[in-house]
Structure 1
Amino acid sequence: MELLNSFFSAINSVVWGPVMLVLLFGVGLYLQFGLRLMPIRKLGEGFSLLWKGRSSESSDRDQGEISPFNALMTALSATIGTGNIAGVATAIALGGPGAVFWMWLTALVGMATKFAEAVLAVRYRETDSQGNHVGGPMYYIRNGLGKRWAWLGGMFAFFGAVAAFGIGNTVQANSVADALTTSFGIPAWVTGLVIMVLAGAVILGGIKRISQVAGKLVPLMAIAYFSASVVVLVINADQVLGAFGMIFEYAFQPIAASGGFAGAAVAAAIRFGVARGIFSNEAGLGSAPIAHAAAQTRNPVRQGLIAMLGTFIDTLVVCTMTALVILTSTHWLDGESGAGLTSLSFDSGLPGFGEALVAIALAVFAFTTILGWSFYGEKCFQYLFGDRAIVVYRVVFVLAVPVGAMAHLDLIWLIADTFNAMMAIPNLIALALLSPVVFKLTRDYFAGKTVLPGEDLNSHRD
């Protein structure tokens, strides 16, 4: 066990190290400039399409399983999670307030990455034996780069299937169990069983049921968390401008140690801001396009414009609210970190309610993450083992939930976190090589030309 721990620790330090962060940030920057900052310039159009995409046009209903709106909500269900609560707090605790600026920058770059992922997912998606649309990095690698690259798609699918059991299942269940035990004294095994029953009722119904639940629960939880954050910031209104000042000031200069806070250099702010930002919004990891491939749309660029909003909402809205709540309190100077820091910060603004509020938010966020990642892992498993493996995967995934809630997950977390990062390697290669396709389809769309999904363009594939 110790040998395995050391082995994966060594790999993890590389795959989540500076080189990987530079690759993720670099590919996103390349796509953003290649698109001439279109994801930023067309943000308003993205929200307009999202609103219209709550239901699909009748002509599009046979082109996917879920509405464009629910496709984004499914993707957000997997991304809005512990990273928005614990990840932001960790970034501030280790990198100082300046880390938030680099999280923002990562999100602006990541919007282009998410756009490109969704465009390629719809462009190169397929239909399985049951008539359902399937897509994601493994498909746009095989169909876009050619069959000689299929092994790279298989690598992504393997990493994704394994990571889903960790980062998207057992680790989430464990986080919920720990939060509810600490705040309300609920035994871990009770939490595990309840989540298993609730998650099973949704997951066993497939993507349509997952998207329906996500389409209602994600907006509700995001608005509730945002509203609670606004209340705290109104109470701490005299500290808000100071918080913004610290974010911009310490993004470019070191911050000295104070109280329990150890201080941080600019390099630490960049490192932890970029790392936590990517961990939170998953831009470049290749998970979200699996959900967007199921959208009821005939236009990959339209879905890309909707998909990029996931990064905006996750990091520039939800993570920012968490960061401001933390920085308008004084607890970040006490040496606290993780979800505990966020809880203390909310509790200082809402005494007697803040800790419970964070525990409930963490539970709901983690539950929806389990739903979203169940679909990601299922599609990766289906790619590797065929359509008949779907039911087996769903059952095993649901049964793993209570195990995660009660187990000590140090090694599982390490393996899952490592494989989660390794998903990015084949995905980034595909994004770079297929970027000309993204650029051309985008130019065609804004030039008023017809842009069709991949299933209508089979004869033109390389």
Structure 2
Amino acid sequence: MLFNRLTPIDSIPAYLKAFSKWIWDWPLLILLIGGGIFFLIYSRFTPFLYFKHALQILGGKYDRDDAPGQLSHFQALSSALAATVGMGNISGVAIAIVSGGPGAIFWMWISALMGMATKFYTCSLAVMYRSKTSQGTVLSGPMYVITEGLGAKWKPLAILFALAGLIGTLPAFTANQLTQTMVDVMRWDESVKLYIGISLAIVASVVILGGIQRIGLVASKLVPLMVILYFITVLMVLIIQIEKIPAMFSSIFTDAFSGHAVAGGILGSLIKTGVKRAAFSNEAGIGTAPMMHGTAKTKEPIREGLVAMIGPAIDTLLVCTLTALAILCTGAWQQGGDNGITVTLTAFNETLPYNIGNIVVFVMVLVFGFSTLFSYSYYGISCLGFLLTPRYGKYYNYIYILSIVVAAVVKLEVAIDLIDSAFALMAIPTVISGLLLANKVNKRAKTYFERHIKKAGD
């Protein structure tokens, strides 16, 4: 009845919210969680057994300049992390805690562990089944995994992914929260959001119009620096609040199974909140990371799969946990408000003296936010290039830049519902293709480990 009282334009947010709630119900969550459990068991815990080898690959031990691809292993992971270690880790975690309570963090952790196995499979497949342009540029992502690995009859599934990807890779959430941070920290009037959006679009265009090599170069410099700085800052907060840490961890585990923090006391709602926010944070099973990892310079798909599995460990198990601990130990999540970035700002300001919290969060949000803006544009280019032809993919950049301005002024709920809905649609083709082709990865992994690991003694 609600929709009947709204104009067509006014009803869009309501329709988005209803669709997001509907699609992120148990069938999709079972696909993501069940798929992650399957990958974890089917891999025989490969992501954890060969973590040391994955770090050696990441460190450049196996880099070959003459290998096909555009980015080194380190640049590919940095670029993928630049997209995931972003606003979802600062603002998204706060939203998860406010809406689901401390227990939501536990389910984010569980989702991340399964996500490591999921990324191992989906990103190995992205290298196994990548394509090339006539100029030799590598094309990758779930849409190519589906068409090259499963065959032409599965192409509708690939088209579904690409269409959803055009929306899911828009910077709606990131640009919105970047703008909100500037307004909160600088105490500007809401009317300046449009001008902030225009400024963000100009800065982002300098990098993204330079192509994937420039994105990879910038990301490889930004990501390590921002993770280290963020770690140091949160460590300061935790040291100051050290007496609250035992009770804080206790609340995460007890609330994870009680569900008391969720309206109605329903445990299922808590699990949904944790898994949804983890999916937004590390994107395991969504399909964006394979588009970046598939461009890695390597002839060995398993190597990039091993590198990709490091992503959820850094993104969710480390960075998201840092944010969660800061918010929980200060009690900022209990003070109300549904704007994630405002909650995080409150947590830092209540602990750090002289308004250091404002400065730190402002700098971190700028770095995290811009790194996400830079990387996400490439995903949209890949999707449009698949739907049309690769040479037309670059025109997505102009849609992307314009959307930064629009996202700066829309309501947060609209941005969240839009991206959540698109991510859900992207996850369906990604996980299904991964499950159907998992045996191909296992066969490739067996021969890889026999040839490279056992002989080298790694």
User: TM-score over 0.5 for the alignment?
Assistant: yes
Assess, with a 3 A threshold, how the Cα gap between structure 1 residues 46 and 150 changes in structure 2: closer, same or farther: same
- For the pair 1:365 / 2:368, whether they are aligned, the reply is yes
- For residue 229 of structure 2, the aligned residue among 199, 207, 224 is 224
Q: Which moved more, 1:351-360 or 1:79-88?
A: 351-360
Match of 2:247 among 239, 242, 247: 242
Please say if residues 96 and 277 of structure 2, whose CA atoms lie closer than 8 Å, have aligned partners that are also in contact: yes
Alpha-carbon separation, structure 1, partners of 2:270 and 2:301 = 36
Alignment match, 2:121: 116
CA contact (8 A) 1:129 1:387 kept: no
1:377 match: 380
Aligned to 1:81: 86
Matched, 1:397 2:404: no
Q: 1:386 matched to which residue of 2? A: 389
In 2, Cα distance between equivalents of 1:124 and 1:227:
40
Kindly indicate whether the alpha-carbon contact (under 8 Å) linking 2:177 and 2:341 is maintained by their aligned counterparts in 1. Answer: no
Aligned to 1:184: 186
Report the counterpart of residue 435 of structure 1 in structure 2: 438
Q: Is the 8 A contact 2:119 2:305 kept in 1?
A: yes
Counterparts of 2:167 and 2:268, CA distance in 1? 32
Deviation at 1:408, TM superposition (A): 4.9
Cα drift, residue 157 of structure 1: 0.8
Identify the residue that residue 453 of structure 1 maps to in structure 2.
none
Aligned to 1:155: 160
SS state at 2:70 partner: coil
5+ residue gaps, structure 2, are 1-8, 454-458
- Cα distance between partner residues in 2 of 1:214 and 1:314: 15
Instruction: Give unmatched runs, 5+ long, in structure 1.
Output: 451-462
1:335 aligns to 2:336 (yes or no): yes
Shift of 1:182: 1.6
2:447 is matched with 444
For the aligned residue pairs, the C-alpha RMSD in angstroms reads 2.1
Query: Which amino acid is 1:106 matched to?
Result: S
Q: Distance in 1 between matches of 2:150 and 2:73?
A: 26
Residue 269 of structure 1 deviates from its aligned partner by 3.0
* 1:55-85 deviations in Å (ceiling 9; x for gaps): 932342xx11111101011111111122111
Corresponding residue of 1:303: 304
Distance in 1, Cα, partners of 2:366 & 2:83: 13
Partners in 2 of 1:191 and 1:3 — Cα distance?
A: 27
Aligned residue number for residue 213 of structure 1 = 218
Matched, 1:8 2:16: yes
Q: What residue identity is the alignment partner of 1:57?
A: R
CA distance in 2, matches of 1:16, 1:82: 20
Output one character per residue of 1:366-402: Cα deviation in whole Å (capped at 9) or x when no partner.
2111111100000010011112213322233223322
Displacement, 1:317? 0.2
Contact 1:94 1:264 in 2 (8 A): no
Report the Cα offset of residue 138 of structure 1.
0.3
CA distance in 1: counterparts of 2:341 and 2:318, whole angstroms: 18
- Does 1:143 find its partner at 2:144? no
Give the conservation status (yes or no) of the 8 Å contact 2:176–2:415. no
Change (3 A) 1:386 1:95: same
Distance in 1 between residues matched to 2:335 and 2:187, nearest whole Å: 25
What is the alpha-carbon distance in structure 1 between the residues aligned to residue 411 and residue 277 of structure 2?
A: 23
Determine if contact 2:97/2:105 at 8 Å carries over to the other structure: yes
Instruction: Decide which of 54, 64, 71 is 1:57's aligned counterpart.
Output: 64
The one-letter code matched in structure 1 to 2:26 is: P
Question: Which deviations, in whole Å up to 9, do the C-alpha atoms of 1:71-116 show, x marking residues without a partner?
Answer: 0111111111221112212222232222211111110000011111
The answer to whether 1:277 aligns with 2:285 is: no
Query: 1:95: which partner in 2?
Result: 100
Could you tell me how far apart the structure 1 residues matched to 2:161 and 2:318 are?
29
Count of residues paired in the alignment: 440
Partner of residue 456, structure 2: none
Q: In structure 2, what is the equivalent of residue 172 of structure 1? A: 174
1:289 corresponds in structure 2 to 290
Q: Normalising to structure 2: TM-score of the pair?
A: 0.90
Separation in structure 2 between the aligned mates of residue 119 and residue 4 of structure 1, nearest angstrom: 38
CA deviation string 1:397-446 (max 9, x = no partner)? 22332233244575565334312210111111101111111121122222
Q: Secondary structure at the match of 1:448?
A: helix
The answer to whether the 8 Å contact 2:80/2:289 transfers is yes
**CA-CA distance at 1:296 after TM superposition:** 0.7
> For the residues of structure 2 that align with 1:426 and 1:286, how far apart are their CA atoms?
8
| Displacement after TM superposition at 1:153 (Å) | 0.8
- Answer whether contact 2:180 2:341 (CA < 8 A) is retained: no
Q: 1:195 to 1:56 in 2, by over 3 A?
A: farther
1:250-287 CA deviation, whole Å, 9 max, x = no partner? Answer: 2223447xxxx979553343222222111211110001
- Pairwise CA distance, 1:4: 3.8
Identity of aligned residues (%): 39
Q: Which runs of 4+ in 1 moved over 4 A?
A: 261-265, 407-413
Residue 365 of structure 1: how far off its partner (Å): 1.5
**1:350 corresponding residue in structure 2:** 352
Structure 2 Cα separation of the partners of residues 99 and 87 of structure 1: 12
Residue 36 (structure 1) aligns with: 44
**Structure 1 residue 327: Cα displacement:** 1.6
Partner of 1:456 in structure 2? Answer: none
Structure 2 CA distance, aligned partners of 1:229 and 1:324?
A: 8
Which deviates more from structure 2 when the two are superposed, residues 303-312 or residues 15-24? 15-24
Pick from 11, 29, 35: which aligns with 1:21? 29
Relative to 1, partners in 2 of residues 1:411 and 1:276: Cα closer, same or farther, differing over 3 Å? closer
Instruction: Identify which range, 4-13 or 111-120, moves more after superposition.
Output: 4-13
Q: Which residue pairs with 1:459 in the alignment?
A: none
Structure 1 contact 40–108 (Cα < 8 Å) conserved: no
Q: SS of 1:298's equivalent?
A: coil
Question: In the aligned structure 2, how far is the partner of 1:110 from the partner of 1:93?
Answer: 23
**1:215-256 deviation per Cα after TM superposition (whole angstroms, max 9, x unaligned):** 101111111111101111111122222222222222223447
Write out per-residue CA displacement over residues 129-151 of structure 1, whole angstroms, 9 at most, x where no aligned residue.
22111111000000000111122
Distance 1:120 1:272, change over 3 A: same
- Aligned to 2:311, the other structure's residue is in SS state helix
Q: Quick check: 1:110–1:311 contact (8 Å CA) kept in 2?
A: yes
